[in-house]
Structure formats: C-alpha cells, structure tokens
Structure 1
Amino acid sequence: MRAATFHGPGDIRVESVPQPELDSSRGAIVRVTHTAICGSDLWFYRGESDRDVPSRVGHEPMGVVEAVGDDVVSVEPGDRVLAPFFISCGRCEFCRKGLHTSCVNQASWSGDNGGAQGEYVRCPEADGTLVRVPDRHADDEDTLRSLLPLTDVMGTGHHAAVSAGVEAGSTVAVIGDGAVGLCGVLATKRLGAERIIAMGHHEDRLEIAEEFGATDLVSERGDEAIERVQELTNGGVNHVMECVGATSSMETAIGVARPGGTVGYVGVPHGLGDGLDLEPFFRANVTLNGGVAPVRAYAEELMADVLQGTLDPSPIFTKTVDLDGVPEGYAAMDDREAVKVLVKP
C-alpha cells in the first residue's frame, strides 16, 4: 500500500510500505477513505519534537472495515467507521471511566498499524476504538466531512470546554485560532455559553470563529490581548480554554482568568518546561484542568448532534488533497495557508 512517511523536518514522502494484516481476534483492518493533517503533526514536521526516521504518520482515520477478528462484535466488514487518535481497548479501568487516552492497552496508528495518512490501518482493539457510522449516513460526503473532526479536534475542543466548566450562560475565552480552538468555540456554543471571546492572530480564522458562535474577537497579542479581554469583561472570565500548548498561551490564560475561575487546557504541551510560573494560578485560586482529550468518550454524543444537523465542524477544512498531495498539505498548514487539511486517499 501507499502511505505518508516522515523522513526528517520538512520531508514528508508518499511511498510504498507493507500493508497491515489482521493479527488479533480483537482487531480490524480499515480501508481509509478520509483522514486529516493535524496541527500537532507540525511539531515533528518543523523539527521541534522527536520522531523516528522514517516513520508513518497520521492519527485521524475514517474508512470502511475490510476484515475483523473472531471476537469483534461491534463492527463487521463493510461498515463505515471513524476512529479516535488513540487506540483503546474499552475494557480496562481507565476506559470504563471514560479516560480512553490512559488505556492500559493503548496503541498508536503509526508503525505496523499503518499510519492513518495512508490507504489502510490496523486497529488492534476494534470494539474499544472504532465508532460505527449509521448506514443511512455512510455514503453522505457532507456528513462524513462533518464527522471526521470527531477523530480529534472536535472532541478535543469539547474536552477543553468540559474541563473549563462551560455551561449554559457562561462567559468564555478561547485561546488559539487553530482547528482545536475553533472547535472549542463551537463546543462552547453547543453547551450554551452566552458570551464567547475568541482569541487569535489570523483574520480568516477569526471569521470562522465568528461563524461558529464567537461573540467577541480579540486579535491582539500578549499583554495587549489580556488587557483587551479584561476591558471587555470587567475583570476577566470564569472559564478559559487554552488550545495552543505554549508557555505564552498559558500565561495569557491566567491573565484573562477571573479569580476562582478554571482554565481547561488541551493544547499539546510545547515549551511549557521553559518557565511556566504556577504562582499566579495559586494566588488567584484558578483551577488548571484538562490534558490529552479522551475523544472516544465523547464520540457518540457529538456524532448524534452531527447526524441531526445541529453540529458542523467541517468549515475547519480549508484545503483538501489526495494522498499524493499530503506533502503539499503539510506545507500549507506550516505556512498558515490552511487551517486544517482533509486528505482523501
């Protein structure tokens, strides 16, 4: 089969690799029909995080089941499925409490499992990972585009909102105008937030945030951004969603949080070891809550809203490529020419 492979910073190649084969009674093989490039993929693409060379890439698969093991009960060949960015068993202590990202049988989509930016993946734990799309929606392209973000960014944005304690009537600040931040805006709107302040630096992305329900747009940086939110809210907000993962964005989060508030953080940590000061959180009794999003726990809930037409995160896909176009897609996201790239192998 063919799959996108990382060969070093700035070097993504689409090449022939061994096709994954079924090797477990609990597993499944999925032919990938839709996948995506994630903002977190840019860290290794830019050489700012370590990754094996060469290695297959991608972690947001949707496709059609080709084969299943004898013990699989939830899906069968021919089913359309989507899958979270982590493989989970659904049986262990942490899966049972909805913390699938801490699954004791956790696996990734890279390596021998195929890499989700390719033609096939192997899922070693089909029942605990794969989410079946109802047959009546299985071939509706518009619906599939809306469902694909549930593999990662929509579930992650929702986790930020839940972690920040967003509820009906809340005033919320969402830090970050990438795909996760934009989905975070959509999640807060879905949960009934009354005022949603979207904070970012790109006009085109803030326009999407406004389309998703943001009531206020803040494009300033650093202290100026904090001052602007403080002015808009007369002292800050009780619910802050940090969707970037950098020290600077976490400093912005504490700067706009009202004493006694909560910061829900889901940005993949990058540079937080360079001196994040926790004293402001301590002094203002601001709760820091969140982490890697257990998107499998939210999948059915969010899918129900997509299927009934009340949730549509698909506008985050501002560029679509085929498998050969994956290197171009990485470059477009790295250059901020695309919010998120949809890949159709």
Structure 2
Amino acid sequence: MRAAIYGGPGDIAIEEVPKPTLETPTGAIIRVTHTAVCGSDLWFYRGDSDRETGSRVGHEPMGIVEETGEQVTSVEPGDRVFAPFVISCGRCEFCRRGLHTSCANGDSWGGDNGGAQGEHVRVPEADGTLVRVPDRYADDEDTLRSILPLTDVMGTGHHAAVSAGVGPGDSCVVIGDGAVGLCGVLAARRLGARRIVAVGHHDDRLAIATEFGATATVSERGDAALDRVRELTDGGVDHVMECVGAASAMEMAIELCRPGGTVGYVGVPHGVDEAGLDVFSLFSDNITLQGGVAPVRAYAEELLADVLGGTLDPSPIFTKTVDLAGVPEGYRAMDEREAIKVLVRIDGHSE
C-alpha cells in the first residue's frame, strides 16, 4: 500500500509500505477513502517538534471497514466509518468518563497501524474508536465532507467551547482563525452564544468565521487587538476559547477573560514553557483554565447527529483537496497559508 512518510523537516513523500494486518480480536482494518492534513502536522513538518524520520503520518481517517476481529460488534465489513485522532477502547475508566484521549489501552495512528494519510489503517480497538456512518449517507460526498472534521478539528473546537463554559446567551471570544478556531466559532453558535468575537490575522479566514456565526471579527495584532476586543465586549468576556497553542495566544486569552471567567484551551502548546504562564493573573482574578487535548470521541455522536440533520456544516474549512499523491503539496499549501485545511481523497482527484 501507499502512505505518506515523514523524511525530515519540509519532506513528506508517498512511499510503498507494508499493509497493516489484523492482530487482535478487538481490531479492524479500514480502507481509507478520506483523510486530511492537520495544523498540528505542521509542527513536525516545520521542524518545530520531534518526529522519527521514516514514520507514517496522519490522524484523521474515514473509510470502509474491510475486516474485523471476532470480538467486534459495532461495525462489520462494508460499513462506512470515521475515527478520532486517538484510538480508544471505550471500556476503561477514562473512556467511561468521556476522556478517551487518556484511554488506558489507547494508541496513535502512527507506527505500524498504517498512518491515516495512507491507503489502510489498523484499528486495534474498533468498538471503542470507530463511528459508523448510516448507510444512506455512506456515498454522499457532500455529507462525508461535512463529517470528516469530526475526526479532529470540529470536536476540538467543540471541546474549547465546552471547556470555556459557553452557553445560551453568552458572550465569548475565539482566539485563532485556523480550522480549530473556525470550528470553535461554529461550536459556540451551536451552544447558543449571543456574541462571538473571532480574533485572527487573515481576512479570508475571518470571512468564514462570520459565515460560521461570529458577530464580530478582529484582525489587529498585539495591544491593538486587545483594545479592539475590549471595545467590542465592554471590557472582556467570561468565556475565552484559545485555539492556537502559542504563548502569545494564551497570554491574550488570559488578558481578555473577566474575573471569575474561564479560558477553554485546546491549541497544542508551543513555546509556552519558554515564555512562562502568568499564573498570578489567573490566581488574582479567579480565572479558570480548563481544556487540553480534546476527547473528540466523546462528542462524535452528538455532532454527527447535527451534521446529518443539516444544522452543522464545518466543511468550508476545507479550502484545498488533493489525492494521495498530492499530500506533499497539501503540506506545502498549509505551511504557506495558501489553504486553511487540506482534504485528502485517497481515491479521488486534486482540486
């Protein structure tokens, strides 16, 4: 089979690799039809985080079940499924608490599982990981395009909103205009927020934020951005969603959060250790910091229901589509801000 392989900073290649095989009675083999390039993939692509050269990449798979182990009960060969970015068993203490990313039997999509930017993956825990798409939508390309973000960014944006405590009638600020931030805007609207201020640096992305429900957008930087958000929100808000991970974004989130408020953070931390977190501001203003890596499997069914019901559509985040051979170009386009998020159709064509 073919899969995307990391060769070092700036180097993604499509190579022939062994197809994964079924190894456990709880597992399944999936023929991947759709996947994506994630903003977090850019950390290793840019050389900003460590990754073993020669490793398979990708963590947002959707496809068709080819084979299942004898203990699998939730899916069968021929089913259309999608899977979150972390493998989970569904039965351990943490999965039962909805914290699938801390699964005692969890795993990633790297290594010999196949890498989700490839033609096949092995799911060692099929019942706890895979989400079945109803048959009537299994070949509906528009619907599948809307479902694919549930593997990661839509669930992550939702986790930001939930962690920040966003509810009906609330005012909130979303920091970040990448795919997660845009999905955070969608999530805040879905949860009933009255005022949603989206902060970013790219007019085309902020236009999508407005389409998704932002009532105001802010493109200024630094202190000018802080001043503009405070002007729009009468001094700040009780609910701030940090969807970037950079130290500057976390600092802005804390600055904009009113005393007694909550910062919901889901951006993969980058450079925060070096910059230092202003814990005293959190302490003195009784600001709650809540969030972390999103347990998107916990949100999958409720978000899927809304997608299928026509009330949730995150698909506009995909601004470029490539086939498997085009994955290296997809990384380049995202790295150079030419695309918000790249959809990969394994058997399809580039757009």
Which residue identity is paired with 2:342?
V
TM-score w.r.t. length of structure 1: 1.00
Which residue identity is paired with 1:207?
A
Report the counterpart of residue 349 of structure 2 in structure 1. none
Alignment of 1:150-299 (within 5 A): 150-274=150-274, 275-299=276-300
The 1-side partners of 2:178 and 2:277 are apart by 22
Report the counterpart of residue 145 of structure 1 in structure 2. 145
The 1-side partners of 2:223 and 2:144 are apart by 40
Which residue identity is paired with 1:97?
R
Alignment of 1:48-197 (within 5 A): 48-197=48-197
Report the counterpart of residue 343 of structure 2 in structure 1. 342
Report the counterpart of residue 317 of structure 1 in structure 2. 318
Cα deviations by residue, 1:245-266 (Å, 9 ceiling, x for unpaired): 1110001001111111100000
Q: In terms of mean alpha carbon deviation, does 226-235 or 168-177 score higher?
A: 226-235
The 2-side partners of 1:151 and 1:42 are apart by 17
The 1-side partners of 2:231 and 2:148 are apart by 37
Which residue identity is paired with 2:143?
T
The 2-side partners of 1:247 and 1:111 are apart by 30
Report the counterpart of residue 304 of structure 1 in structure 2. 305
State the SS of the aligned residue for 2:8.
coil
Would you say how many aligned residue pairs link Structure 1 and Structure 2? 345
* CA-CA distance at 1:67 after TM superposition: 0.1
Cα deviations by residue, 1:293-334 (Å, 9 ceiling, x for unpaired): 000000000000000100000000000000000000000000
The reply on whether 1:327 has 2:328 as its aligned counterpart is yes
Cα deviations by residue, 1:215-249 (Å, 9 ceiling, x for unpaired): 00000111111111111111100100000011100
The 1-side partners of 2:54 and 2:283 are apart by 43
Report the counterpart of residue 9 of structure 1 in structure 2. 9
The 1-side partners of 2:218 and 2:224 are apart by 10
Q: How big is the alpha-carbon RMSD for the aligned residues of Structure 1 and Structure 2?
A: 0.5
The 2-side partners of 1:279 and 1:29 are apart by 49
* CA-CA distance at 1:276 after TM superposition: 2.0
Cα deviations by residue, 1:36-61 (Å, 9 ceiling, x for unpaired): 00000000000000000110000000
* CA-CA distance at 1:179 after TM superposition: 0.2
State the SS of the aligned residue for 1:20.
coil
The 2-side partners of 1:188 and 1:233 are apart by 16
The 2-side partners of 1:209 and 1:202 are apart by 11
TM-score w.r.t. length of structure 2: 0.98
State the SS of the aligned residue for 2:217.
strand
The 2-side partners of 1:215 and 1:235 are apart by 16
- Percent of matched pairs sharing the same residue: 76
Cα deviations by residue, 1:263-295 (Å, 9 ceiling, x for unpaired): 000000111101222111111111000000000
Which residue identity is paired with 1:160?
A
Which residue identity is paired with 1:241?
M
State the SS of the aligned residue for 2:320.
strand
The 2-side partners of 1:320 and 1:268 are apart by 24
Q: In terms of mean alpha carbon deviation, does 222-231 or 122-131 score higher?
A: 222-231
Cα deviations by residue, 1:62-115 (Å, 9 ceiling, x for unpaired): 000000000000000000000000000001000001000000001001110000
